Structure 1
Amino acid sequence: MVTWLPISGRFARVSLLGVGLENDPEMLLSSFTGLIILMIPGNPGNEQFYADFGQIVLSKISRIMRISEENFLFCTVSHLNHVPMPRVYSGMSICNCADRISLAEQIQYKFNFCLQYLPKAAKLILIGHSIGSYFMLRILPDLLKHEFNVIRCISLFPTIEHMAESPNGERLLPWLKVDSYT
């Protein structure tokens, strides 16, 4: 199921994979008590890129953990302004398609999605792909502070892992390096 959900006055395209998705997605998410796998995309931030991956993850989890398919969801939230918004939502959103969204705003947006739609009673696995791994690491402390039941975080090809060793990283590192005086 692909739907548009309001988050802090802006609309996000959200993909939900699992059983029983014919119901209202807001109601489904708010009352869900099983396992939610939240996929945080890399660039280009289009959640549809992860549909096949989500189906594979769900089938593997069902088999490995011996959990019935009704007890877990795979949820992916697109980045702000990374997918075209239907006109029906553009008039209701405080965000215009020409707006530039900062990294900090994108991170806060993902956290606000969690606050607004994900139930704290559900178990939560976070998966971040590329720059989504950075988003995941940034929202994790706040999720824990708000008592979300995060049971695992998984980084897929994290941008941050070897950034300093990349050509641009080597060029910029001397400018960005901060010495520790402890």
Structure 2
Amino acid sequence: MHEAFLNLNGVRTKVSTWGRWVEESSEEQDDIVLIITGNPGINGFYNNFAKTIHEKLGYPVWCLGHAGHDLPRESIILPKFKEHQELYGLKEQVQHKADFLEKYIPEKAKIHLVGHSMGSYMILELLDHPALRDKVVDVYLLFPAIEYMAETNNGKFLTNFIKPIVPIIVFLSWIFTFLPNMVQNSLIYAYTTFIMKIHAKEHLTNIKNLIKPGVLRRVFFLAFEDIDHIRERNNEVIKKNVKKIKIYYGRTDGWTPPIFCDRIKRDIPDVDVEITDYHHSFVLSSSMEVGDKVSTWIKEKK
């Protein structure tokens, strides 16, 4: 795995790769798997998922999170949230991905796009981008937050109960950063084990990276923009690319419930849709299983 912070749309952003690094040139017509994360867009949560796909296929796998969600080392300063909110909203995060495509997608590449949650929305927004238009082989939208997020159970909960107390949550995260490392680890372990009912030991560092005031501000800001602005599904783009797209819904998903699966099958009968028992936050508990699924789909498309 290779990781580095690249300047994308004015924000130094972590890019993680397995196989060829994004700045390495290639004369081959490479197959490249590009993963666009959900929110929070912390690449580390996707390491096992991306590694599984790389090992199964042998293709370069590139993972791109969101501007301001992975903090670089102290020598690199990000634009401050209060002064540059315009860099961290939904529209700007889409432009952030477009900047990556323009700079780093090779001319001869064959691209396999994988989007998780709101990353799926971004992919639909970008499918007609000149850097992708003729290069996309297939598209996999996992637990896709591509319509009416405000209608979902999680969207209502976030808006009605979490939004009013975001300043308190951010303040508590600031206090958390001062706790001894052993106390931080114990609190995270207790929360993930007894509240979330998962064993997220391998994500301890990723969760700590999330529980930082600056990161949480950007994560919440993007989440509320998603809820406000992701409304009607982009049927035009889906229909135009329907032979390339596979959509994966969850039976118990609080963000993309089964009714959304039913709606898209009604509206676009020839779209390839599947429903699963895996959870929306599969990266915490089923990374390798879903990675194996995606690898199998890509092989079958070939």
State the TM-score, normalizing by the size of structure 2: 0.46
Residues 127, 133 of structure 2: 8 Å contact kept: no
Paired residue for 2:40? 44
Paired residue for 1:9? 10
Residues 84, 97 of structure 1: 8 Å contact kept: no
Root mean square deviation, CA, Å: 2.9
2:7 aligned counterpart, secondary structure: strand
Cα distance change, pair 13–148 in 1 and its aligned pair in 2 (3 A): farther
Cα distance change, pair 104–129 in 1 and its aligned pair in 2 (3 A): same
1:87 aligned counterpart, secondary structure: coil
Say whether 1:105 aligns with 2:101.
Answer: no
**Shift, 1:159, TM fit:** 1.4
Larger helix percent = 2
Cα distance change, pair 122–88 in 1 and its aligned pair in 2 (3 A): same
Letter in 1 for 2:9: S
Paired residue for 1:150? 136
% identical aligned pairs: 31
Letter in 1 for 2:48: D
Paired residue for 2:113? 126
Structure number with greater Rg is 2
Cα distance change, pair 32–129 in 1 and its aligned pair in 2 (3 A): farther
Instruction: Kindly report which structure 2 residues correspond to 1:16-31, keeping only aligned pairs within 5 A, or say none.
Output: 16-18=17-19, 25-26=22-23, 28=24
**Shift, 1:163, TM fit:** 4.2
Letter in 2 for 1:138: E
Instruction: Kindly report which structure 2 residues correspond to 1:49-88, keeping only aligned pairs within 5 A, or say none.
Output: 49-61=45-57, 69=58, 72-88=59-75
Say whether 1:117 aligns with 2:104.
Answer: yes
Residues 41, 66 of structure 2: 8 Å contact kept: yes
Residues 40, 77 of structure 1: 8 Å contact kept: yes
Residues 11, 68 of structure 2: 8 Å contact kept: no
Paired residue for 1:64? none
Report the Cα distance in structure 2 between the residues aligned to 1:166 and 1:4, rounded to whole angstroms.
34
**Shift, 1:47, TM fit:** 1.1
Letter in 2 for 1:118: I
Q: Deviations over 1:22-77 (max 9, x none)?
A: xxx52x1576641111100001101111110011112222xxxxxxx3xx211011
* Number of aligned positions between the proteins: 156
Report the Cα distance in structure 2 between the residues aligned to 1:60 and 1:53, rounded to whole angstroms.
11
Unaligned runs of 5+ in 1: 62-68, 178-182
Cα distance change, pair 150–159 in 1 and its aligned pair in 2 (3 A): same
Unaligned runs of 5+ in 2: 157-226, 233-302
- Higher RCO (Cα < 8 Å, 6 or more apart): 1
State the TM-score, normalizing by the size of structure 1: 0.73
Cα distance change, pair 46–34 in 1 and its aligned pair in 2 (3 A): same
Residues 113, 140 of structure 2: 8 Å contact kept: yes
